[in-house]
Amino acid sequence: MLTRRGFARFATCALCATTGFLATDASAQTPPAASPGLRRKVLSQVDGPMPGYVTIIAEVEIDAGVLVGRHTHPGIESGYVLEGEIELPIEGQATRVYKAGDGFQVLPNTPHAGARNGGRTVRLTSTYVVEKDKPLASPA
């Protein structure tokens, strides 16, 4: 039986703090130098689920007080908060605060951002199913 925690460790999702990745044919992607207070690590990258797309799973850590800039993705993002909490404004929706154990989705090309709440680091995972050869995240 796959528990919520087990799922989080296996193939979970998180906030779009992976701004700057480039989804390409390359096998594993190496993230560019992170913004201060933002750390990210690609856990998995595979072609698919259909031709022209790539699925990337990343772990993200955002320090207290760090703002993730407004951006979009050329595909869907599914996120899961592992530790802490984060305020997530998604265009067209009321801003919500997500805490450990909460999941969220951001539709393709939908502007969104992230602001830290509380006094501790937020840890998330994100799964992106995005078009190949397009930047994973673009400023919005």
pLDDT in tens, 26-78: 333 333 334 578 788 999 999 999 999 999 999 999 888 888 888 899 999 99
For the chain, domains (ranges, CATH) are: 4-139 (2.60.120.10)
HEC secondary structure over the chain: CCCHHHHHHHHCCCCCCCCCCEECCCCCCCCCCCCCCEEEEEEEEEECCCCCEEEEEEEEEECCCCEEEEEECCEEEEEEEEECEEEECECCCCCEEEECCCEEEECCCCCEEEEECCCCCEEEEEEEEEECCEECCEEC
* Cα gap 115→10, rounded to integer Å: 26
Structure-block tokens of residue 114? 């992230």
pLDDT digits (tens, 9 = 90+) for 105-133: 999 999 998 876 668 899 999 999 999 99
pLDDT digits (tens, 9 = 90+) for 5-34: 433 333 333 333 333 333 333 333 333 334
Q: Look-up: residue for tokens 């690609």?
A: 42
Q: Look-up: residue for tokens 């680091």?
A: 121
pTM of this prediction?
0.73
* Cα gap 27→56, rounded to integer Å: 11
